């Protein structure tokens, strides 16, 4: 084959490969980024109109902060407390505005839901560092996330334990060991997306005294507010109820583990330290022995 023919053949092959790679990359970004799961427009609007919180665009996502409309005890408890919450795979940050707002209302903490490259936390595992650096007035940081975002938050906590004061997982498991900080893991009983076998297998990656809360009737997407996730199961409770119970669990956990007790937490559970390790951790729940699992809103069946 003449040398010019070989060169033309090689150039054509290279151009074809580049076109295929470009099309694949574009398709990947469109599927995970552009076509990611979002909150319904009316839900996002209602959060922005909520007088108890403010919503800011930052870190590629949102920062939800408490306002002076909240009771003083709640604002005091949450003063200086920040929560970085990584979104699940293919889920946009706005899908968590409703649940984040409820956590803010219940605890007084500031919740940051940063944006992830192509809505995949695996591509932005260190995103929490930008938030922690940018919100330097915060004294206490809880890092966590939903689904894939929770796993990547675990990796962040594993890599930078000196920056993390608590770990919050919702419908997620840790594929790295995080054993030196308080941990709360919340799972819906109707969550069919979470790999339950992996959840059990990786339990030892959490501290021995980690709190596991099961919310009766809650499904995977109710960590936020979005629809249409493949493999999902219909919920038996409303999004509002799921978010109320999630916020109550976080509130009681912050009170007990980090001594950040809002007025609601004190009224319901007492000051941190006054409730034993087997004590209830949220309104409408009861507790069972180790490994500290609690069912919220259920009949008592584990």
Q: Report DSSP state, residue 146.
A: E
Q: Tell me what pLDDT residue 23 has.
A: 57
Q: Report DSSP state, residue 33.
A: I
Cα–Cα distance list, 141 to 7, 34, 138, 168, 285 (Å): 58, 30, 7, 11, 26
Walk along the chain (302 residues) and give the pLDDT tens digit of each residue.
Answer: 566 576 777 767 777 776 666 655 556 455 555 568 999 999 999 999 999 999 999 999 999 999 999 999 999 999 999 999 999 999 999 999 999 999 999 999 999 999 999 999 999 999 999 999 999 999 999 999 999 999 999 999 999 999 999 999 999 999 999 999 999 999 999 999 999 999 999 999 999 999 999 999 999 999 999 998 888 999 999 999 999 999 999 999 999 999 999 867 666 655 544 333 333 333 333 333 334 667 777 644 33
Element (H, E) at 127: helix 127-134
The pTM of this model reads: 0.85
Cα–Cα distance list, 176 to 53, 157, 173, 201, 253 (Å): 34, 9, 9, 12, 22
Q: Tell me what pLDDT residue 301 has.
A: 38
Query: Measured between alpha carbons, how far apart are the two ends of the chain, in Å?
Result: 72
**What is the arrangement of strands in the sheet containing 110-113, beginning at the earlier edge strand?**
53-58, 61-66, 110-113, 81-86, 140-146, 166-170, 183-188, 211-215, 293-296, 285-287
Q: Tell me what pLDDT residue 16 has.
A: 72
Q: Tell me what pLDDT residue 290 has.
A: 39
Phi–psi pair at 299, nearest 5 degrees: -100, -5
Residues 6+ apart with CB under 8 A from 102: 243, 244, 246, 247
- Count Cβ atoms within 10 A of the Cβ of residue 60 and give its class: 0-12 exposed, 13-18 middle, 19 or more buried: middle
Q: Tell me what pLDDT residue 262 has.
A: 87
The tokens describing 89, both together, are 């795979």
Examine residue 291 and say whether the peptide bond preceding it is cis (omega within 30 degrees of 0). yes
CA distance 290 to 294: 10
**How many CA atoms are closer than 13 Å to the CA of 279, on its beta-carbon side?**
20
Q: Tell me what pLDDT residue 296 has.
A: 75
The beta strand positions in the chain, using DSSP E, are: 53-58, 61-66, 81-86, 110-113, 140-146, 166-170, 183-188, 211-215, 285-287, 293-296
**184 closest CA partner among 221, 218, 215, 148:** 215
User: Hey, is 214 helix, strand or coil?
Assistant: strand
């Amino acid at each position: 084959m003449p040398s010019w023919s070989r060169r033309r053949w090689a150039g054509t092959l290279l151009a074809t490969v580049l076109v295929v790679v470009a099309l694949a990359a574009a398709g990947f970004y469109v599927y995970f980024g552009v076509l990611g799961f979002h909150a319904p427009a009316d839900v996002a609007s209602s959060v922005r109109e909520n007088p108890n919180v403010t919503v800011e665009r930052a870190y590629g996502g949102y920062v939800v902060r408490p306002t002076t409309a909240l009771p003083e005890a709640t604002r005091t408890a949450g003063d200086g407390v920040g929560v970085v919450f990584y979104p699940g795979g293919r889920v946009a940050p706005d899908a968590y505005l409703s649940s984040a707002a409820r956590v803010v209302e219940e605890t007084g903490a500031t919740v940051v839901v940063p944006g992830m490259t192509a809505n995949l936390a695996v591509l932005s595992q260190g995103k929490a560092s930008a938030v922690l650096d940018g919100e330097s007035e915060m004294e206490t940081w809880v890092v966590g996330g939903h689904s894939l975002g929770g796993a990547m938050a675990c990796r962040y906590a594993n890599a930078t334990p000196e920056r993390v004061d608590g770990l919050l997982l919702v419908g997620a498991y840790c594929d790295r060991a995080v054993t030196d900080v308080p941990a709360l893991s919340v799972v819906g009983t109707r969550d069919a997306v979470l790999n339950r076998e992996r959840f059990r297998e990786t339990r030892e990656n959490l501290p021995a005294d980690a709190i596991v809360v099961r919310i009766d009737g809650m499904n995977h997407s109710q960590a936020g507010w979005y629809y249409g996730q493949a493999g999902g199961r219909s919920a038996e409770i409303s999004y509002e109820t799921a978010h109320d119970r999630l916020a109550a669990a976080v509130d009681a956990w912050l009170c007990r583990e980090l001594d950040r007790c809002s007025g609601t937490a004190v009224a319901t559970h007492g000051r941190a330290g006054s409730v034993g390790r087997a004590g209830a951790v949220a309104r409408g729940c009861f507790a069972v022995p180790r490994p500290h699992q609690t069912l919220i809103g259920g009949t008592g069946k584990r």
